Amino acid sequence: MEMDPIVDQELIELDDSSTDELTNMEIDLLLEGLYRWYGFDFRQYVRASLRRRVLNRMRLDRIPTVTALLNLVLHEPGYVDRLLGDFSIKVTEMFRDPSFFRAFRYNVVPQLRHLSEIRIWHAGCATGEEVYSMAILLQEEGLADRTKLYATDMNEKAIEAAKRGAYPLKQMQTFTKNYLDSGGTNSFSEYYTTDHKQAYFDASLREHVMFAQHNLVTDGSFNEFHVILCRNVLIYFDAALQSQVHNLFHGSLSTGGFLGLGSKESILLLHHASVYEEFVPTERIYRKMR
């Protein structure tokens, strides 16, 4: 999986197959403990990816068993946040997959122009790059003033970073290229100011954005939206959990509304496929028909 930077090689020592079954059972108990004590439900996340993260945390903190890790999670104040940080994979970019934003600009935006108020939900927005990208696109298309953007993530620290809208200067080259490839019409540097380390995105871009912590697994619907973007999040969920979250999206999307997924995600295999039209199939943009 491209978003998974942890190198398996580092884990081989701990990943001894003779203890595989026991480790898996301990991971079950760890996830059960996280859920029952803290309310964070990772029980239906793709197991291989979680397992790598658990083993990596044990290696970094020199913890001999998953049970010892569970002990720390339950009894050492604040330790749980470390594990939650490990489970939240925040890799993102502005105008990530520029062709998605190009399709959004040229295919979806014309369908939204007649609305007096447009509500867009960025579910799993990580540190906000996707939201600022959308805010820029909508400003350029003259729709910003009548749009409300709802930016949510389960990770509170990521949401705090999203609110700041400050990103390392060294990323601006990639972001600028993505912006231009996505059909951006201005000079990208007009949207931020800099010091020697960071680029600070213009506060006007945040004017119509509401940032909030929201967990797709355990929290419900909170509005009706014309657009829901949930890109590169469902890839971490098993099929049953994907289906559950698609129920949430279907119930939260207005008829005729648009659902945008990540480049490796699809609803085609799920029973929800029949209620959506493939609006821009190559970019995983679907339209709710009923």
Ligand X SMILES: C[S@@+](CC[C@H](N)C(=O)[O-])C[C@H]1O[C@@H](n2cnc3c(N)ncnc32)[C@H](O)[C@@H]1O
Contact with ligand X (CB under 6 A) among 104, 112, 118, 130: 130
Q: Could you say which DSSP state residue 288 is in? A: E
Contact set for ligand X, span 133-162 (CB under 6 A)? 153-155, 158
- CA-CA distance, 166 to 48, in Å (whole number)? 33
Note whether 242 binds ligand X by CB under 6 A: no
Instruction: Kindly state the DSSP code that residue 237 receives in the 8-state scheme.
Output: B
Instruction: Confirm or reject binding of residue 31 to ligand X (CB under 6 A).
Output: no
* Cβ at position 151, least distance to ligand X in Å: 10
Of 22 and 210, nearer to ligand X (C-beta) is: 210
The contact pattern for ligand X, residues 76-115, with x = CB under 6 A and - = no contact, is: ------------xxxxx---x-------------------
Tokens read off for 206 = 């945040």
Does 216 bind ligand X (CB under 6 A)? Our answer is yes
Q: Which is nearer to ligand X, 20 or 36 (CB)?
A: 36
Nearer to ligand X, 15 or 32 (CB): 32
Instruction: Tell me the window of 48-56, 124-132, 143-151, 190-198 that interacts with ligand X (CB under 6 A).
Output: 124-132
Q: Are 205 and 165 in contact (CB under 8 A)?
A: yes
Question: Which residues inside 196-215 make contact with ligand X, applying CB under 6 A?
Answer: 215
Q: Does 3 bind ligand X (CB under 6 A)?
A: yes
44: alpha, beta or left, given left = phi > 0 and alpha = psi -120 to 50?
alpha
- Nearest approach, Cβ of residue 245 and ligand X (Å): 8
Binding flag, residue 260, ligand X (CB under 6 A): no
Considering beta carbons, is residue 122 or 272 the nearer one to ligand X?
A: 122
- Which amino acid does the sequence have at 262? G
Question: What is the Cα–Cα distance from 225 to 150, expressed in whole angstroms?
Answer: 9
Which SS3 state, helix, strand or coil, does residue 80 take? helix
Contacts (Cβ under 8 Å, ≥6 apart) of 210: 148, 149, 150, 151
Range list of H helices, the chain: 20-33, 47-60, 66-75, 79-87, 98-103, 109-112, 129-140, 156-164, 172-181, 239-252
| Binding footprint of ligand X on the chain (CB under 6 A) | 3, 88-92, 96, 124-126, 130, 153-155, 158, 215-217, 231-233, 262
